[in-house]
Amino acid sequence: MNVLNRSKDKDLSTQIENQEGQIEPEVGVWEMNHADLKATHTFGDDRKVRPVTRTISAAIQKNAFSYTFPAHSLTILRLRLK
């Protein structure tokens, strides 16, 4: 699932619900954001804006879980179904 939060300063708290299959609690997260809204990734400075990857353990309830997308970010959640 890809989510672009275009808000300059507001995180987006969401409830993610699945309609078919059971969501597994292990969720892969790929996230790109930077405190400086004008920061860019260039060939000369390719370490400035870098994605962060991690795995979270989601608290699944009724085949749904909560997630907060950070302000000014692109987030990709990798969900697995049982």
pLDDT surpasses 80 at 63: yes
pLDDT at 45: 76
Domain ranges of the chain: 2-78
Q: What is the distance, to the nearest Å, from the Cα of residue 9 to the centroid of all Cα atoms in its chain? A: 16
**Each residue of 6-60: pLDDT tens digit?**
999 999 999 999 999 999 999 999 999 887 878 777 777 777 788 899 999 999 9
CATH (residue range 2-78): 2.60.40.1180
pTM of the model: 0.85
pLDDT at 76: 98
pLDDT at 42: 78
CB 72 within 8 A of CB 33: yes
pLDDT at 44: 78
CB 5 within 8 A of CB 81: no
d(CA 49, CA 63): 34
